[in-house]
A and B are shown apart, each in its own frame.
Chain A
Amino acid sequence: MANSITSTGHVDHLEKLMPHESIINDEGEHVVLPQHRHHFETAEQQREAGSFGMWLFLLTEIMFFGGLFFAYLLYRNWYYPAFAVASNQLNVPEGAANTAILITSGFFMALGVWAAEVRKKKLLVLMLVFTTIFGVAFLGVKADEYHEKYEKHHIPGASFSTSMFTNPPVNPKTGKPDELPLAPDMAQHTEIFFFLYFAMTGMHAFHMIIGIVLLFWLTWRAHRGEFSSGYVAPIENFGLYWHFVDIVWLFLFPLLYLINRHPIH
């Protein structure tokens, strides 16, 4: 008698202590739902444990992106003139539009969680589809920005060119260059800015791509009605991930695009 918890005793226990864990079907029988795990006392406890686990994962993500942000902070202080002029080469209208697109995507994700909570299946599917569309739109704008960097020879590597920074082009409106020329050695350091730009926005875009793949999967499951009978955890926890990716962009946009915009000269 190593263990007194027998399988039958366990089921009895489930029905007694886990009021949320089983539902009563039309024939008056108790049905244990497959998504409910037997090692939790209540559905609420299971839900909280799930949120807790998701947040622990997001904390590791904070540390991961935090390292990139720290590298940016450090190099920006070391090579400030190079970072200032290189930052001003980024496309602010597209970056701002992308911020609005991403916030809209997050808004629909939040509404999706609400739709799952109130068990509206069609609305949930619709909200997940909108979330996906705006996520893809973000990546489309991002791809256009990357293409602009390619045309300007601002992608680090063999074709990288500092000529725009050692020899700033004349602005036809003002008749003089927008930026002061950099010394060649300082101009070399603009490549570090663009390396960090691609590393940070690239890792962010990679997270978006993973999120969009997960969205396809969740939309399919939502369409089958898996999340409209009180089981919301996958939608809710994916929502946490999606909002986290939003937050990373909320910091990337001002730090990469905006903080050197004001006229310095």
Chain B
Amino acid sequence: MAHEVSHDQAHDPSNVTNPEHAEHHIVTPIQYCLVFATLLVGTAITVAAAYVNMGAFNPVIALAIACTKAVIVILFFMHVKYQSRLIKLTVGAGFFAFIILVTMTLLDYISRAWGMW
């Protein structure tokens, strides 16, 4: 029978013994406190830096601090540091796809009137 599936085929044993998700990591409250303090300090720095005139670098500094805070939240509050490679790849692929879309759309807006000024 072509559609007959034995138990061993339907349930791949490698899924059960896969070390990728064999152990579940629990982030401790001490780590969460450190992350919390880091995020608050980051907020204070970003507000303070906004009042220092750095010209074109003001938005760059603000975005750099925001990205750092976001990465910390993703790695620890959202547990990505302790997740399987599948989850890490999913998160990375998502942000990568977003950057591609932004870059391509920006290129369109920059180049549409190329040579007409």
9 shortest A-B CB distances, which residue pairs?
A: A59-B94, A254-B62, A258-B50, A262-B53, A261-B50, A107-B36, A44-B21, A259-B59, A41-B15
Query: Are the C-beta atoms of A247 and B73 separated by less than 8 Å?
Result: yes
Query: Are the C-beta atoms of B66 and A251 separated by less than 8 Å?
Result: yes
Query: Are the C-beta atoms of B66 and A250 separated by less than 8 Å?
Result: yes
Knowing A45-B15, A66-B98, the reply to whether A247 touches B51 (Cβ < 8 A) is no
Residue of A nearest to B39 (CB): A103
Residue of B nearest to A258 (CB): B50
Residue of B nearest to A115 (CB): B29
* Interface residue? A129 (CB, 8 A): no
Cβ of A44: which chain B residues have Cβ within 8 Å of it?
Answer: 21-22, 24
Cβ of B4: which chain A residues have Cβ within 8 Å of it?
Answer: 1-4
Cβ of B29: which chain A residues have Cβ within 8 Å of it?
Answer: 111, 114
Residues on A close to B: CB < 8 A? Answer: 1-5, 9, 13, 17, 41-42, 44-45, 47-48, 51-52, 55-56, 58-59, 62-63, 66, 70, 73-74, 92, 96, 99-100, 103-104, 106-107, 109-111, 113-114, 117-118, 236, 239-240, 243-244, 246-247, 250-251, 253-255, 257-264
Within 8 A of A (CB), among B52-68: 52-54, 58-59, 62-63, 65-66
* Interface residue? B113 (CB, 8 A): no
Cβ of A63: which chain B residues have Cβ within 8 Å of it?
Answer: 97-98, 101
16 contacting pairs across A/B (C-beta < 8 A): A3-B4, A3-B5, A5-B7, A44-B21, A48-B21, A56-B90, A73-B102, A73-B106, A100-B43, A107-B32, A114-B26, A246-B77, A250-B66, A250-B73, A258-B46, A258-B47
Cβ of A106: which chain B residues have Cβ within 8 Å of it?
Answer: 73, 77
Query: Are the C-beta atoms of A254 and B101 separated by less than 8 Å?
Result: no
Interface size class of B (residues with CB under 8 A): 35 or more
Cβ of B93: which chain A residues have Cβ within 8 Å of it?
Answer: 59
A131 to chain B, nearest CB (A): 12
* Interface residue? B28 (CB, 8 A): yes
